Structure 1
């Protein structure tokens, strides 16, 4: 797969993840927030919880099992830490979530996956 095709698939996955979050009661605050060496794909709020969401799209469900690792989560956590003042209010809970997507499968939403 070319870099351009991978980029298109990634953006499509982020759009699907945003729809999924919205349909399950989350409000999308921002998408593709880049800061320093990291990036957060989606920032969403549900009640008093703000989630910084990493989205992974793979061609097969089997490939999703290896799509996320501690190194990637650390990068997202560093970016989220820098973005918290912009999106969270005092008293909000903040978490790092992951949404895994593959064709023909329901999104797999894993909440609060990072514990520093």
Structure 2
């Protein structure tokens, strides 16, 4: 791998981790409890897993120039895998039995506050 490509990859990973931490802090300020970061499951990797009340939020974090681009970046197949991963995690943890699983988006854009969109892809 070329050094410039490796450096860009490292910078992108660092930016992604920073975005996830910022998203987690934002959600905690809204009353969510963060249960996990970058959770790997057989179905998908979950950026953030958060709980508020009886709602388990599978949160996809995207840093893009605008909200529409962030929404479009997550494909239908990826959303399906993320929902399955969240349902599987909820089923395996007795404390989450009966929790409603929801797929949320945290969109971050330069110079703007984070935007949390609960149930970002209703039905899709």
- Establish whether TM, by shorter chain, passes 0.5: yes
Give the number of equivalent residue pairs. Answer: 115
The structural deviation recorded for 1:22 is 0.3
Work out the CA distance in 2 between the residues paired with 1:75 and 1:6.
Answer: 23
The structural deviation recorded for 1:95 is 0.8
Query: Within 5 A, what are the aligned runs for 1:1-116?
Result: 2-58=8-64, 60-61=65-66, 63-64=69-70, 66-87=72-93, 89-112=96-119, 113-115=121-123
Work out the CA distance in 2 between the residues paired with 1:18 and 1:36.
Answer: 23
The structural deviation recorded for 1:45 is 0.7
| Contact 2:32-2:50 within 8 A present in 1 as well | yes
Q: Which has the higher helix share?
A: 2
Q: Which has more radius of gyration?
A: 2
For structure 1, the 5+ residue unaligned runs are: none
What is the TM-score with the length of structure 1 in the denominator?
A: 0.84
After the TM superposition, list the runs of 4 or more consecutive aligned residues in structure 1 that deviate by more than 6 angstroms.
none
The structural deviation recorded for 1:83 is 1.5
| Contact 1:100-1:109 within 8 A present in 2 as well | yes
| Contact 2:48-2:59 within 8 A present in 1 as well | yes
Deviations 1:1-26 (A, max 9, x none): 72111111111110010000001111
For structure 2, the 5+ residue unaligned runs are: none
The structural deviation recorded for 1:67 is 2.7
What is the TM-score with the length of structure 2 in the denominator?
A: 0.79
